[in-house]
Amino acid sequence: MSFMNASELVMLSNLLDSRQPHHGLARQFYHDESLYQVEMEAIWRQGWLFAGHSCQIPNPGNYFLYDMEGDSIIIIRGDDGQVTALYNVCRHRGMVICQQQEGSVRRFVCPYHQWTYDHSGRLLLQNGMQESLDKSQLSLHPAKVREVEGMIFISLAKEPVEFDPVEAAFAPVAKPQGFSRAKVAKIMDYDIESNWKLVWENNRECYHCNVNHPQYIKANFDHYNADDTIPRVAERLKAVTSRLEAKLAAQGMALRAETGMTEFPDPEHGMWYAANRTPNEQGYVSETMDGKQVAPLMGDYTDPEVGTLRIRSLPNFWIHASCDHSVAVRLTPNGLSHTHIRMIWLVDGKAVEGRDYDLNTLLTFWQLTAEQDWKICSSQQRGVNSHAYTPGPLSSFKEYNLERFLRWYIQEMKAYLGK
């Protein structure tokens, strides 16, 4: 933490302690450059980050880059089919090796002096150098990587927290979706003027949905109060839930107990990741404008009524998957008040655009809903920048997950400072 001196660390520690429960964060959390640098170390360089989908790199030699706060990581499928993550930095003079955002390579050849590495990062050739050099000490620096049911996660930490429990939670729920046999229908990239936490705060409540997401609320129950739903809604929810349970059972799947308005995260129990199925509103088999299926069934599904598969992991990932398509959201901080957001739409690997699905029809629902949120987050950033901004109270009915997110955030920051 060379970017903070002792008195700054005390100030940061006091700031973390001063957070008032059930209220937002103070202005400094969105405004202080050195606090942001601590976040990068405490959270973003410690945790597991969703990088992309396995189906983006189906064959040996296929790679894509994930650029994270000044670092460029190569995610490549090796000859043995395993995925490897390598820093995109030559061990000779620090040159960026892969200049394209994605592609396919037999070997990595640095464009500066042609040092050549294999798919695992091992240095093969360094023509022009003295013989005495020990090539084994000059492999590309690796990052940690895990592939689970078609989702690739990396960690920049030397010793990240264990990933096995995440895999255990994600794999059985995600498996029927068939992510690994899917194909990319569309990738959209956004750079929004908002601190990354505001994007999560927005994601962790549907209090704002009624007015801001006219499309989304037709398909979902999230905007109703957690523990105070009116009888008519409770009945409707009960009906779709029973129906979904039956449908899933017929396809060999189970609806897990916590289905519905999932509480997430659960920092006191170390739950920074979760996967579940959520019932849609009556008449909606897919998160689309009219609720109708817009592409062929994915994965193992034999019936479109599978609800929505939702997976999330902090600090950078969530996905909504319907029977026929999925939409992943990947966040990456890009400075104190900017966040890069990538959205990835997948469909079944055999689906053909124009024949099996119309791209616009596929995109509209989530493109609209997401862009409504990106606009909110950008406006909110300008508001919390104000000297007059003070943290307000959170709704106990509708913002309990936001409160959980903030608890998780404070807990992670304190844990790091305590080290």
Q: Please check whether residue 77 is in contact with residue 83, taking contact to mean a CB–CB distance below 8 angstroms.
A: yes
Does 45 help bind a copy of itself (rule: CB under 8 A)? yes
Angle between helix 196-203 and helix 400-418 axes, rounded to 10 deg = 140
How far apart are alpha carbons 161 and 153 in whole angstroms? 13
**CB 171 to a copy of itself: min, Å:** 30
Q: Please check whether residue 197 is in contact with residue 338, taking contact to mean a CB–CB distance below 8 angstroms.
A: no
Does 195 help bind a copy of itself (rule: CB under 8 A)? no
- Determine which residue in the list 164, 387, 418, 419 makes contact with a copy of itself, applying CB under 8 A: 387
Nearer CB in complex with a copy of itself: 223/325: 223
Lookup: tokens for 193: 């003027």
Site for a copy of itself in 199-238 (CB under 8 A): 201, 207-208, 210-212, 225
How far apart are alpha carbons 108 and 86 in whole angstroms? 11
Does 350 help bind a copy of itself (rule: CB under 8 A)? no
- Determine which residue in the list 20, 81, 93, 352 makes contact with a copy of itself, applying CB under 8 A: 93
Does 92 help bind a copy of itself (rule: CB under 8 A)? yes
Lookup: tokens for 359: 């791209």
Of the candidate spans 130-138, 214-222, 288-296, 317-325, the one that interacts with a copy of itself by CB under 8 A turns out to be 130-138
Instruction: Tell me: cis bond preceding 315? Omega within 30 of 0 counts.
Output: yes
How far apart are alpha carbons 162 and 144 in whole angstroms? 11
The 10 Å CB-count burial string (b at 16+, else e) for 287-315 is bbeebeebbbbbbebeeebbbbbbbbbbb
Q: Please check whether residue 73 is in contact with residue 143, taking contact to mean a CB–CB distance below 8 angstroms.
A: yes
Does 392 help bind a copy of itself (rule: CB under 8 A)? yes
- Determine which residue in the list 21, 94, 231, 418 makes contact with a copy of itself, applying CB under 8 A: 94
Does 249 help bind a copy of itself (rule: CB under 8 A)? no
Contact letters for a copy of itself, residues 11-30 (x by CB under 8 A) = -------------x------
How far apart are alpha carbons 287 and 281 in whole angstroms? 10
The arrangement of strands across the sheet holding 71-77 comes to: 48-53, 151-155, 142-148, 83-87, 71-77, 62-68, 102-104
Q: Please check whether residue 352 is in contact with residue 325, taking contact to mean a CB–CB distance below 8 angstroms.
A: no
Nearer CB in complex with a copy of itself: 269/387: 387
Of the candidate spans 159-167, 239-247, 295-303, 377-385, the one that interacts with a copy of itself by CB under 8 A turns out to be 377-385
- Determine which residue in the list 82, 100, 104, 114 makes contact with a copy of itself, applying CB under 8 A: 114
Nearer CB in complex with a copy of itself: 140/271: 140
Does 385 help bind a copy of itself (rule: CB under 8 A)? yes
Does 316 help bind a copy of itself (rule: CB under 8 A)? no
- Determine which residue in the list 141, 238, 256, 350 makes contact with a copy of itself, applying CB under 8 A: 141
Nearer CB in complex with a copy of itself: 13/395: 395
Nearer CB in complex with a copy of itself: 91/325: 91
How far apart are alpha carbons 180 and 352 in whole angstroms? 17
Q: Which residues bind a copy of itself (CB under 8 A)?
A: 24, 45, 70-72, 87-97, 99, 111-114, 128-130, 133, 138, 141, 156, 201, 207-208, 210-212, 225, 376, 379-380, 382-393, 395-398
